Amino acid sequence: MAKTFHLEIIAADRVFYQGECEHLVITAIDGLMGILPGHEPLVTCLPTGELKYMTNGVWHYAAISEGFIQVLPDKSVILADSCELPEEIDIKRAEEAKERAQEQLRQKQSIKEYYQTQAALNRAMNRLKISQKHFK
Protein backbone atom coordinates (compact mmCIF):
# COMPACT_ATOMS: atom_id res chain seq x y z
CA MET A 1 0.00 0.00 0.00
CA ALA A 2 1.28 3.48 -0.89
CA LYS A 3 2.51 5.57 2.05
CA THR A 4 1.19 8.85 0.64
CA PHE A 5 -1.69 10.21 -1.40
CA HIS A 6 -2.04 13.39 -3.46
CA LEU A 7 -3.72 16.30 -1.68
CA GLU A 8 -5.06 19.48 -3.24
CA ILE A 9 -6.48 22.26 -1.09
CA ILE A 10 -7.99 24.91 -3.34
CA ALA A 11 -9.28 28.12 -1.75
CA ALA A 12 -11.38 30.63 -3.70
CA ASP A 13 -8.39 32.94 -4.20
CA ARG A 14 -5.40 30.55 -4.34
CA VAL A 15 -4.08 27.02 -4.45
CA PHE A 16 -3.30 26.58 -0.75
CA TYR A 17 -1.55 23.20 -1.04
CA GLN A 18 -0.82 20.75 -3.80
CA GLY A 19 1.42 17.77 -3.12
CA GLU A 20 1.86 14.47 -1.36
CA CYS A 21 0.41 13.85 2.07
CA GLU A 22 0.69 10.97 4.54
CA HIS A 23 -2.33 11.69 6.70
CA LEU A 24 -5.14 14.23 6.59
CA VAL A 25 -7.54 15.04 9.43
CA ILE A 26 -10.60 17.15 8.66
CA THR A 27 -13.45 18.43 10.78
CA ALA A 28 -16.52 17.02 9.06
CA ILE A 29 -20.11 17.82 10.06
CA ASP A 30 -20.20 14.83 12.41
CA GLY A 31 -16.72 15.24 13.89
CA LEU A 32 -13.08 14.54 13.09
CA MET A 33 -12.26 12.28 10.15
CA GLY A 34 -8.82 10.85 9.43
CA ILE A 35 -7.84 10.05 5.85
CA LEU A 36 -4.96 7.74 4.98
CA PRO A 37 -3.80 6.37 1.59
CA GLY A 38 -6.33 3.88 0.21
CA HIS A 39 -9.37 5.52 1.84
CA GLU A 40 -12.69 4.57 0.29
CA PRO A 41 -14.23 7.18 -2.05
CA LEU A 42 -16.53 9.78 -0.53
CA VAL A 43 -17.70 13.35 -0.93
CA THR A 44 -18.77 15.40 2.05
CA CYS A 45 -19.14 19.03 3.01
CA LEU A 46 -16.70 20.75 5.33
CA PRO A 47 -17.97 23.26 7.84
CA THR A 48 -15.75 26.11 8.99
CA GLY A 49 -13.11 24.52 11.20
CA GLU A 50 -9.60 23.17 11.48
CA LEU A 51 -7.73 20.76 9.27
CA LYS A 52 -4.31 19.21 9.58
CA TYR A 53 -2.21 17.26 7.14
CA MET A 54 1.12 15.48 7.53
CA THR A 55 3.98 15.78 5.06
CA ASN A 56 7.39 14.17 5.72
CA GLY A 57 6.32 13.36 9.27
CA VAL A 58 5.34 16.96 10.11
CA TRP A 59 1.79 18.12 10.86
CA HIS A 60 0.60 21.34 9.21
CA TYR A 61 -2.49 23.10 10.54
CA ALA A 62 -4.95 25.39 8.78
CA ALA A 63 -8.14 27.34 9.37
CA ILE A 64 -10.67 26.50 6.69
CA SER A 65 -13.98 28.12 5.81
CA GLU A 66 -16.90 26.22 4.37
CA GLY A 67 -16.24 23.85 1.48
CA PHE A 68 -16.29 20.31 0.18
CA ILE A 69 -13.90 17.37 0.06
CA GLN A 70 -13.67 14.56 -2.45
CA VAL A 71 -11.71 11.55 -1.20
CA LEU A 72 -10.38 8.85 -3.53
CA PRO A 73 -7.93 6.05 -2.62
CA ASP A 74 -4.96 7.93 -4.13
CA LYS A 75 -6.14 11.57 -4.03
CA SER A 76 -8.16 14.05 -1.97
CA VAL A 77 -9.38 17.41 -3.22
CA ILE A 78 -10.67 20.14 -0.93
CA LEU A 79 -12.50 23.19 -2.32
CA ALA A 80 -13.13 25.87 0.26
CA ASP A 81 -13.98 29.54 0.48
CA SER A 82 -10.75 30.31 2.33
CA CYS A 83 -7.85 28.57 3.98
CA GLU A 84 -5.05 30.07 6.10
CA LEU A 85 -2.02 28.80 7.98
CA PRO A 86 -2.03 29.85 11.65
CA GLU A 87 0.83 32.29 11.01
CA GLU A 88 -1.05 33.91 8.12
CA ILE A 89 -4.00 34.85 10.29
CA ASP A 90 -4.32 38.55 11.03
CA ILE A 91 -5.58 38.50 14.63
CA LYS A 92 -6.66 42.14 14.68
CA ARG A 93 -8.71 41.66 11.51
CA ALA A 94 -10.36 38.54 12.95
CA GLU A 95 -11.15 40.32 16.23
CA GLU A 96 -12.70 43.21 14.31
CA ALA A 97 -14.74 40.77 12.18
CA LYS A 98 -15.90 39.02 15.37
CA GLU A 99 -16.95 42.30 17.01
CA ARG A 100 -18.69 43.45 13.83
CA ALA A 101 -20.65 40.19 13.61
CA GLN A 102 -21.57 40.27 17.31
CA GLU A 103 -22.83 43.84 16.94
CA GLN A 104 -24.88 42.88 13.85
CA LEU A 105 -26.40 39.97 15.76
CA ARG A 106 -27.69 42.47 18.34
CA GLN A 107 -29.53 44.32 15.54
CA LYS A 108 -32.71 43.24 13.79
CA GLN A 109 -31.83 41.19 10.70
CA SER A 110 -33.59 39.14 8.05
CA ILE A 111 -33.15 35.36 8.31
CA LYS A 112 -30.69 35.49 5.41
CA GLU A 113 -28.66 38.27 7.04
CA TYR A 114 -28.72 36.36 10.34
CA TYR A 115 -27.22 33.24 8.71
CA GLN A 116 -24.58 35.33 6.90
CA THR A 117 -23.62 37.10 10.12
CA GLN A 118 -23.50 33.83 12.04
CA ALA A 119 -21.21 32.38 9.34
CA ALA A 120 -18.94 35.47 9.55
CA LEU A 121 -18.79 35.08 13.35
CA ASN A 122 -17.87 31.39 12.97
CA ARG A 123 -15.05 32.25 10.55
CA ALA A 124 -13.65 34.92 12.85
CA MET A 125 -13.85 32.71 15.96
CA ASN A 126 -12.26 29.81 14.08
CA ARG A 127 -9.36 32.01 12.92
CA LEU A 128 -8.79 33.29 16.44
CA LYS A 129 -8.89 29.77 17.90
CA ILE A 130 -6.46 28.29 15.37
CA SER A 131 -4.07 31.20 15.58
CA GLN A 132 -3.99 30.98 19.40
CA LYS A 133 -3.65 27.19 19.38
CA HIS A 134 -0.91 26.77 16.78
CA PHE A 135 0.96 30.05 16.35
CA LYS A 136 3.17 30.64 19.36
Which CB atom, from 88 or from 113, has the smaller least distance to ligand ATP? 88
The verdict on 134 binding ligand ATP (CB under 6 A) reads: no
Binding track, positions 29-68, relative to ligand ATP; x by CB under 6 A: ------------------------------------x---
C-alpha to C-alpha distance for 103 and 117, rounded to whole angstroms: 10
Which CB atom, from 46 or from 97, has the smaller least distance to ligand ATP? 97
Among 74, 87, 90, 99, binds ligand ATP (CB under 6 A): 90
- Please tell me the count of residues contacting ligand ATP according to CB under 6 A: 14
Helices vs strands, H then E, count in the chain = 2, 10
Nearest 5 degrees, angle CA 13-CA 96-CA 84?
A: 30
Q: Which residues contact 64 (CB under 8 A, 6 or more apart)?
A: 9, 46, 48, 49, 50, 51, 78, 80, 82, 83
Which CB atom, from 76 or from 126, has the smaller least distance to ligand ATP? 126
